[in-house]
Amino acid sequence: MDKLGLIILAGGLSTRMGQPKALLPWINGESLISHALRKGLDADIQDILISIGDDEQLGLAIQTHIIDTLSNDEKNKVSIVRDSVGRCGPLGGLYSTLAVGTSSAYAVMAVDMPFMEMDLYYDWLYQVNHNDWNAIVPYGESGKSEPMAGIYRPHIASLIQSILVSEDMSLHHALDVIGHVESIDACDYSWELSNINRFEDYQWARALAENEFRRVPLISVVASKRKTGKTTVVTRLVSELQKIGLSADAVAIAGPTETAIRIRTKEQSNLYEISQFMPVDIVILESRSQGIAPIIEVTQEGHTEELISDNMDRVATIEIGKLDQDVPELVRHIQEMMRSLNGRRYC
């Protein structure tokens, strides 16, 4: 099998996000760029090229951040590559990295595709049983090719160079020009191939990542003050989730129609740990503090300036007077998150 290197495309302008995607916090103390880099290092990729675009300030910030996260041995496996041709988008990044690449083939991972896994690239290599290819490109359930998650041979850099002076510098156009492109059916990997373009996409992607390795998925409901309406929101949310088939039963101590079991312990129990043994599909945790990510914050009308949760952890803000407007959209996102969690756990 080809000696596989990794190209991480991290130089996008992030115009829809409003801030550089590569440096956005992810989970477990990682950023999106360090998360992608860790996947390559954990897969023992010896040749990792990080494309940082042609923005000098952004490139310096990414470079400094990456260096701080690497051991000396890991630094020897990683090279940071600035675009040799400016303002050419991802095609420029692909060209600049392939032009200096020494591996026989490179998997390309966009930094805003945080659920992409290295194992998939190896699977796709095995599916192509000949060596007469320039690129291996997956296509998703929409039937559209996903060149930002493809595998490319370095010798096509010369072909890409001619495209960089044309009017159409898209990766899709490049595939038509370079030829010998193998298509891979990746319809079962829609979440892996999804990318994060808007801040809302990022928030819910983080919510999925936070919950992926929990035994029971969890969402916190918080508010900056008492009597804001947290319990009203939780009750309504549980009711709506049950309507779509999710078990999210609310539990109260000594309620009129249900009973909680009280267990004497030597020290205060951790509410999160308790939640992980509840026989439900999802836990809605009502908290007086800032809660556990992902977070829904409840506000009174016109009081959004008093939010206590971090906007990186907060997936929704619910105004207590607009439940009919806000809750259905929230339920839709939770349902999508649960589908994705179930798909990733049992695929």
Based on its alpha-carbon atoms, the radius of gyration of the chain, rounded to whole angstroms, reads 23
Answer yes or no: is pLDDT of 213 > 50: yes
Cβ of 7: how many Cβ atoms within 10 Å? 27
Residue 42 has pLDDT above 50, yes or no: yes
pLDDT value for 268: 54
Contact, 219 vs 286, CB < 8 A? no
Reduce the secondary structure of the chain to three states and give it as a string: CCCEEEEEECCCCCCCCCCCHHHCECCCCCEHHHHHHHHHHHCCCCCEEEECCCCHHHHHHHHHHHHHHCCHHHHCCEEEECCCCCCCHHHHHHHHHHCCCCCCEEEEEECCCCCCCHHHHHHHHHHCCCCCCCEEEEECCCCCECHHHCEECHHHHHHHHHHCCCCCCCHHHHHHHHCCEEEEECCCCHHHHCCCCCHHHHHHHHHHHHHCCCCCCEEEEECCCCCCCHHHHHHHHHHHHHHCCCCCCCCCCCCCCCCCCCCCCCCCCCHHHHHCCCCCCCEEEECCCCCCCCEEEEECCCCHHHCCCCCCCEEEEEEHHHHHHHHHHHHHHHHHHHHHHHHHHHC
Look over the chain and give the mean of its residue pLDDT values, rounded to a whole number: 86
State the pLDDT confidence band at 2, using cuts at 50, 70 and 90: low
Over residues 175-194, mean pLDDT: 92
Q: What is the pLDDT of residue 255?
A: 33
Percent of the chain with pLDDT over 70: 90
Confidence of residue 55 (pLDDT cuts 50, 70, 90): confident
Q: Is the pLDDT of residue 219 over 60?
A: yes
Q: What is the pLDDT of residues 3-16, one digit of tens each?
A: 899 999 998 767 77
User: Taking a C-beta distance cutoff of 8 angstroms, is the pair 26, 35 a contact?
Assistant: yes
**Tokens standing for residue 214:** 């929990």
Q: For residue 225, name the pLDDT band (cuts at 50, 70, 90).
A: confident
pLDDT of residue 253: 36
Model pTM? 0.86
Residue 155's contacts (CB-CB under 8 Å, 6 or more residues apart) are 134
Share of the chain above pLDDT 90, in %: 53
Q: What is the pLDDT of residue 303?
A: 62
Q: Supply the pLDDT for residue 286.
A: 83
pLDDT in tens, 58-117: 888 888 888 878 888 998 999 999 988 877 889 999 999 999 999 999 999 999 999 999
pLDDT in tens, 241-297: 999 999 876 544 333 344 444 444 555 556 677 778 778 899 888 877 777 889 999
pLDDT given for residue 259 in this prediction: 40
Residues facing residue 324 across a β-bridge: none
